[in-house]
Amino acid sequence: MMRANPGAAVPDNHSDIVLVIAGADLGDTSYLGYTANYAAYVHYGVRGNAPRPRVTMVAQRWIAIVGAKAAEVKARLEP
């Protein structure tokens, strides 16, 4: 889902990102992040709002997420 990010250009497509991922080799390190100008406020909480560190929580589960998706792809490819 794309949302407006005031003060920063947001590309209409993700072709650069797709090309980087497609060109990655097994064992390569990938760095993910967020660029929304309000991301730090959401992540750490502000003005009485509770923190919502979703990126950190996903990063902590990354091995399990990749393992589950790899198993899903493998199941699709098996006859």
Q: pLDDT tens across 1-10, in order?
A: 455 666 666 6
| Residue 65 pLDDT exceeds 80 | yes
Q: Is the pLDDT of residue 13 over 80?
A: no
Residues 66, 30: Cα–Cα separation, whole Å: 13
Is 90 exceeded by the pLDDT of residue 54? Answer: no
Which range, of 27-31, 46-50, 57-61, averages the lowest pLDDT? 27-31
pLDDT of residue 31: 79
Is pTM beyond 0.75? Reply is no
What confidence score (pLDDT) does residue 55 get? 81
Q: Which of 41, 63, 37 is nearest to 54 (CA)?
A: 41
